[in-house]
């Protein structure tokens, strides 16, 4: 990108940013326009001519918004999560989306520790009692943290901050991370375990994983039952990781001693929420990033990244392009989206930790000099299924290296007859599990054309049910009947004939809605069905 005259770049700030970030832009000659709290329609009216849109979490950068912004080159998110940005549409339009992944790390980790301390000493209950006019310690007997065991679910950046502080409190620290094998801990003094073992051994459990279809209700009724009697639960990560109704029941029965939640699946909670009236629960209104230091850090960070983008042509912390120009993004964007969907598919198919990720290109795409864009797109999507931070094309290689994941890249001559082809494969450490998919792009849209060695043709998007089954008459009908009973409509079915050493057939069913866990379990219990996976892409 040719360096721009700062005064010629139109930047719209649509959410509240710390004044230091705004002043930094102005000090370099940029003239940001501030318009906070706009409705979608009002935002759309302001977008023509805007080249950079800076937001936090309030403004939703939807497909409709992006389609109405013909001059937009950059969306800057002052914070970690980009759930409020339609990344697929942004990529297809060549709009670079960047975030500030480290600005909230310490603040969120310290909040989890604060909630841990408050739980241990019943501070919230004591405060409410005194304010109500009761000066009594009865029933408020707490526990020391020294020597107690903290189980951390998700050992990414925030999880490591929590582990470091907990070690300083003389706690024993256990951790579970799907991308780290048991025993190979990256932190001294932290023991890695499988999730169920961690739950059964921990006095306190703190969650630090993202919310995906695979982690929704991760702490289910069954897993709450596995927790140590009298244990306490902390969630300062994402609402929806915990089954709130089941948690209320576990507290009511006395199995758990208490819980502290900064996030809920329903925000704000309704007045009849099962946890709202419980005295053994601490509830805070999503304070994870709410510190002066964090607010300033993300504001200054996104200002610095915006200036680097227009003055140097570099997209720091981009979630959909490392250092590509807008022109390159228009060519490679659909293939980056394809690689990302392939990575998400493979990660959800894998039952064991991934130790190696391979990407090969064939056909015309293999002749383009796209740098690491495609492999980083694949890597980021694969890791992003289970990590507790915003994984993007910039930090994905570092995160993979931290977890000992090998990343291989190559070219091949066989494009299966397509003009361009991507082939992706993931494997576990001992090679006992691997999965492979191939994809291409038709009319700007990603397609999966081979899966697990079988030729198929389906769009990798939305809800997908994948089965491996014995090739017998009526199997697909039985699966369809169970889905129909559950009110789930099938959008498309792609069947693969028996292949591989086990000679199992496969079905790829695109669904309009996600089936409930009981329906998926019922499909898995069919006599002819060997494996069933519910995916979200």
What amino acid positions are annotated as catalytic residues? 238, 267, 286
As a 3-state breakdown, the chain gives helix, strand, coil percent values, each rounded to 5, of: 35, 25, 45
**DSSP element (H, E) containing 301:** helix 292-312
Spatial separation of the C-alpha atoms in residues 156 and 351, rounded to whole Å: 20
Tokens standing for 214? 């695979």
Q: Which tokens sit at 104?
A: 């909230």
Identify the three-state secondary structure at position 360. Answer: strand
170 near 146, Cβ under 8 Å? yes
Selection from 476, 486, 530, 473 nearest residue 508 by Cα: 476
Scored b (16 or more CB within 10 A) or e, 80-116 reads bbbebbbbbbbbbbbbbbbbbbbbbbbbbbbbbbbbb
Report the distance separating Cα 440 and Cα 442, nearest Å.
Answer: 7
Containing H/E element for 192?
strand 190-192
Q: Which two tokens stand for residue 427?
A: 């494997």
Structure tokens at 190: 């932290």
For residue 480, give the nearest of 444, 441, 522 by alpha carbon: 522
Who's near 470: CB < 8 A, 6+ residues apart?
A: 504, 505, 528, 530
Of 121, 72, 66, nearest to 88 by C-alpha is 66
Q: Are 82 and 53 a contacting pair, CB within 8 Å?
A: no
Cross-strand bridge partners of residue 33: 12
Q: Could you tell me where the DSSP H helices lie in 447-506?
A: 475-485
DSSP state of 528: T
CA angle, corner 180, sides to 189 and 341, nearest 5? 150
């Amino acid at each position: 990108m040719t360096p721009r005259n700062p005064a010629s770049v139109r930047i719209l700030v649509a959410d509240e940013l710390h004044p230091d970030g705004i002043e930094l832009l102005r000090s370099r000659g940029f003239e940001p326009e501030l318009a906070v709290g706009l409705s979608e329609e009002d935002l759309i009216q302001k977008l023509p001519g805007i080249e950079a849109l800076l937001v936090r979490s309030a403004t939703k950068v939807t497909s409709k918004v992006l389609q109405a912004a013909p001059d937009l080159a950059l969306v800057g998110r002052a914070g970690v999560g980009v759930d409020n940005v339609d990344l697929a549409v942004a990529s297809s339009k060549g709009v670079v989306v960047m975030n500030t992944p480290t600005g909230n790390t310490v603040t969120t980790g310290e909040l989890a520790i604060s909630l841990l301390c408050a739980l241990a000493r019943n501070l919230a209950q004591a405060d409410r009692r005194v304010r109500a006019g009761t000066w009594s310690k009865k029933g408020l007997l707490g526990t020391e943290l020294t020597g107690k065991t903290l189980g951390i679910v998700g050992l990414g950046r925030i999880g490591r901050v929590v582990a470091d502080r907990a070690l300083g409190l003389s706690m024993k620290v256990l951790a579970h991370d799907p991308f780290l094998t048991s025993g190979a801990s990256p932190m001294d003094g932290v023991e890695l375990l499988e999730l169920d073992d961690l739950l059964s051994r921990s006095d306190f459990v703190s969650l630090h994983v993202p919310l995906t279809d695979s982690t929704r209700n991760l702490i289910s009724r069954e897993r709450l039952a596995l927790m140590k009697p009298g244990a306490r639960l902390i969630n300062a990560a994402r609402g929806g990781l915990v089954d709130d109704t089941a948690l209320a029941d576990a507290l009511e029965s006395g199995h758990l001693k208490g819980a502290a939640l900064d996030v809920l699946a329903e925000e704000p909670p309704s007045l009849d929420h099962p946890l709202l009236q419980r005295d053994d629960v601490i509830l805070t209104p999503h304070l994870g990033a709410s510190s002066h230091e964090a607010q300033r850090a993300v504001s200054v960070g996104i200002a610095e990244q915006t200036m680097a983008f227009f003055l140097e042509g570099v997209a720091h912390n981009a979630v959909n392009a490392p250092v590509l120009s807008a022109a390159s993004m228009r060519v490679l964007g659909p293939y980056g989206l394809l690689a990302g969907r392939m990575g998400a598919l493979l990660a959800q198919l894998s039952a064991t930790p991934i130790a190696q990720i391979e990407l090969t290109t064939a056909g015309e795409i293999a002749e383009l000099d796209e740098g690491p864009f495609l492999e980083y797109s694949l890597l980021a999507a694969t890791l992003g299924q289970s990590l507790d931070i915003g994984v993007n094309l910039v930090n994905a290689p570092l995160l993979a290296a931290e977890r000992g994941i090998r990343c291989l890249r190559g070219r091949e001559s066989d494009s299966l007859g397509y003009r361009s082809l991507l082939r992706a494969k993931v494997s576990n450490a001992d090679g006992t599990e691997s999965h492979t998919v191939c994809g291409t792009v038709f009319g700007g849209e990603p397609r999966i054309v081979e899966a697990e060695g079988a030729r198929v043709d389906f769009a990798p998007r939305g809800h997908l049910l994948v089965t491996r089954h014995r090739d017998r008459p009526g199997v697909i009908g039985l699966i369809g009947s169970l889905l129909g009973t559950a009110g789930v409509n099938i959008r498309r079915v792609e069947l693969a004939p028996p292949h591989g050493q086990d000679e199992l057939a496969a079905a790829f069913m695109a669904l309009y809605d996600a089936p409930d866990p009981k329906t998926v379990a019922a499909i898995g219990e069919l006599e002819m069905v060997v494996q069933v996976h519910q995916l979200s892409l």
